[in-house]
Structure 1
Amino acid sequence: MHKKYIYPFCLIFSLFLKGCSPLSMFSSGVASLDTASQERGLGNYVTDQEIKTRINVVLFEHDHLLHYKVDVNVYEGRVLLTGHVKNKRMQEDAIRLSWQVPGVKTVMNEITIEDPRTLLEYTQDKWISTKLHALLFFNKEVGSRNYEIIVSRGVVYLTGIAKDQKELNEVIYTVRTTKHVKKVVSYVRLMDAYEVRRRKIFNERKNPSPLAAKQIEHKKIIQSEKQNTLWATTDQKKEAPKTKGD
């Protein structure tokens, strides 16, 4: 097979292998629910996925081993690199190559120079990730769709957007008190005033108060009555008998 065809095939296959375990499939499914309603928006989500794919392609073409050793996560153009490599050069290459991809705003390096994870460590990390996704998903005080969780050797890295400091504290507390978590590293940013107002409007439309719900229902009834009156008037005009002069 020609070299130019081998690279894309291997890349797609390796990306699939990176996240095809049952635990990762479950956690990814929970994390990706209601993507369109994330604070970063569907457009930014798609852009982030494009950046992530481009970085993985660049890493793969530079060094197949580097691609396997480094995990890439992107949120609003902010790239988080995690994983374990065997030397400083590989770490520096991953950072340098990530910066070369269009759309990258910053690169946060959390790559460590040490031996790869054992199967036990990998399995435990997946268990922690799945557990945290479930805990945040069912926590009504947290907008879980706005957070991404990466776990490596018991260290939990958080990226995303928090409504306010109170919500972020709740998330960090949940992570810290989860079994087998050794450390929490947060790259989460707080919403600005515009985003807070936008979320408030979205929530009010999605879950209106009893008074607002009654007002909406009242408007619907009035509009329905107006429409019925219009139809009745139109029917009467059609059925009206013609005069002799007609």
Structure 2
Amino acid sequence: MTHLAHELPLPRAALLGAAALALAAAIGLAGCAPAVIAVGVGAGAMVAADPRSAGAQVDDEAIELSLQANEAVQKENVHLNVTSYNGLVLLTGEVPTAAVRDEVERIAKAANRVRSVQNELFVGPISDYSARTNDGYITSLVKTRFLDEPKFAPNRVKVVTERGVVYLMGLVTRDEGAAAAQVAATTSGVTRVVKVFEYTN
């Protein structure tokens, strides 16, 4: 793994503490929460049915926090979303140039406990509030439809939407991944589905 001369601004202990608090809050709130492209790689949970270990969940939170807070990626005209699942990092959002896109990827690959990076950053203007609201709505639609799908457990699949494109992450079998992708692809407003799964078979 190539390491850059970029220092993460927060110590790991602080990041893990923040991540643990975030996970604890998520657990406490859980009771009141209401064409396909494959690019994936080929597991005591803190959240019910989450196939990741407790340590992996904390690490994922720490990865997301550290990269979002890294001053090296906080450039003008950059809208960056970082999603980590079992050490596989998905980068989405918008950047002004291909050079910035590549630099963000290099920084992500150099971060502690990152196993792989899927760079889906779009080179172009930053999305507006309306577009981001619509993406959130699409995510909620996909998650709601997952609840009626008997072929996989909904909480084993993480859904990220950016510019109408749905990215699916998680530790699943190939059949489960295919079923989730089919549901997402037939959801209103979805323009494309990208599978960023880690397969268990």
Q: What TM-score does the superposition give when structure 1 sets the normalisation length?
A: 0.60
Please, which of 128, 131, 140 is the counterpart of residue 121 of structure 1? 131
| Alpha-carbon shift at residue 138 of structure 1 (Å) | 3.8
Superposed, which structure 2 residues align to 1:160-199 within 5 Å?
Answer: 160-162=170-172, 164-192=173-201
Partner in structure 1 of residue 25 of structure 2: none
Distance 1:127 1:109 in 2: 23
Q: What TM-score does the superposition give when structure 2 sets the normalisation length?
A: 0.72
Q: Please, what is the CA RMSD of the aligned residues?
A: 2.7
Contact 1:78 1:105 in 2 (8 A): yes
Please, which of 160, 167, 173 is the counterpart of residue 150 of structure 1? 160
Please, which of 40, 45, 52 is the counterpart of residue 64 of structure 2? 52
Contact 1:175 1:184 in 2 (8 A): yes
| Alpha-carbon shift at residue 63 of structure 1 (Å) | 4.4
| Alpha-carbon shift at residue 37 of structure 1 (Å) | 2.7
Shift in CA distance, 140/95, structure 1 to aligned 2, threshold 3 Å:
same
Partner in structure 2 of residue 93 of structure 1: 103
Please, which of 112, 117, 140 is the counterpart of residue 102 of structure 1? 112
Shift in CA distance, 47/117, structure 1 to aligned 2, threshold 3 Å:
same
Distance 2:175 2:51 in 1: 17
Q: Which SS does the other structure have where 2:120 is aligned?
A: strand
Distance 2:135 2:72 in 1: 28
Q: Percent identity?
A: 23
| Alpha-carbon shift at residue 69 of structure 1 (Å) | 0.9
Amino acid at match of 1:118: D
Q: Which SS does the other structure have where 2:111 is aligned?
A: coil
Q: Which has the higher strand share?
A: 2
Q: Which SS does the other structure have where 1:37 is aligned?
A: coil
Q: Which runs of 5+ in 1 are unaligned?
A: 1-6, 9-24, 193-246
Amino acid at match of 1:37: A
Q: Which has the higher contact order (CA 8 A, sep 6+)?
A: 2
Distance 2:72 2:65 in 1: 14
Distance 2:73 2:194 in 1: 28
Larger radius of gyration: 1
| Alpha-carbon shift at residue 103 of structure 1 (Å) | 0.6
Shift in CA distance, 63/102, structure 1 to aligned 2, threshold 3 Å:
closer
Distance 1:180 1:82 in 2: 18
| Alpha-carbon shift at residue 191 of structure 1 (Å) | 1.5
Distance 1:75 1:104 in 2: 10
Q: Which runs of 5+ in 2 are unaligned?
A: 1-8, 11-28, 35-45
| Alpha-carbon shift at residue 41 of structure 1 (Å) | 2.2
CA-to-aligned-CA distance 1:66-101 (integer Å, 9 cap, x gap): 696110000111111011111122212211111221
Q: Which runs of 4+ in 1 moved over 4 A?
A: none
Distance 1:124 1:177 in 2: 16
Contact 1:66 1:94 in 2 (8 A): no
Distance 1:66 1:72 in 2: 17
CA-to-aligned-CA distance 1:187-219 (integer Å, 9 cap, x gap): 112224xxxxxxxxxxxxxxxxxxxxxxxxxxx
Contact 2:60 2:86 in 1 (8 A): yes
